[in-house]
Amino acid sequence: FPHPERARKILERLRDDRGIQAIMKARKWSVGELIELTPFEASILGYNRNAGQLIALRLRTDDLSGFRHYDSIRKVLLHELTHNVWGEHDDNFHALNRQLNKDVVALDWTAHGGHSLGNGSYYNPEEEEVMDDVGYEAGTYRLGGSSVAVLDNDPEARRQLLARATLSRLTKQEEKEMDEGCGSA
């Protein structure tokens, strides 16, 4: 497949995601192997074999010309991790999956407010270096202090935080689409 290095970087980013790591540590889960689902298995988004011994995720778009958004791949990973506990897509499964999607945001300490400390130089990659939405989100962040105080004084920061929280929640439609695209059950 084209751009295997990009696929590897996405898998490494998932492996190193602080929210994912915190969830796995708290629940004493492990994944033996995290791999890219072959693009020819077009009917599923991922599967979990033997309670995490192997998890395969669809990384590429349907036309194979690019990669899916990181957040959507991470949601599928959380869906597949939920199969470590619940096999069937029932109410218990969906409750745990929703909780994991909340936890992945809450447990990632790097995703919470920060602040830029100056107007120094910054890295601006050439266009060909930019990966299909797999880079880190840029912005101005606050270092230290209470994030609540920042939100009170900065409506834009509050809006962004609420938007991130909203996007992290799975809608019923997304749950249905993931259930239909799951090769684990």
Q: Which residues are catalytic?
A: 80
Instruction: Report DSSP letters for 94-135, one per residue.
Output: HHHHHHHHHHHHHT-GGGS--------------GGG--TTTS
Does an H or E element contain 36, and which? strand 33-36
How far lies 175's CA from each of 79, 88, 116, 119, 123, in Å?
9, 13, 37, 43, 38
> How far apart, in whole angstroms, are the C-alpha atoms of residue 80 and residue 67?
19
Q: Which two tokens stand for residue 41?
A: 């298995």
Q: Under a CB-based contact definition with an 8 Å cutoff, are residues 57 and 37 in contact?
A: yes
> How far apart, in whole angstroms, are the C-alpha atoms of residue 5 and residue 1?
10
> How far apart, in whole angstroms, are the C-alpha atoms of residue 70 and residue 81?
16
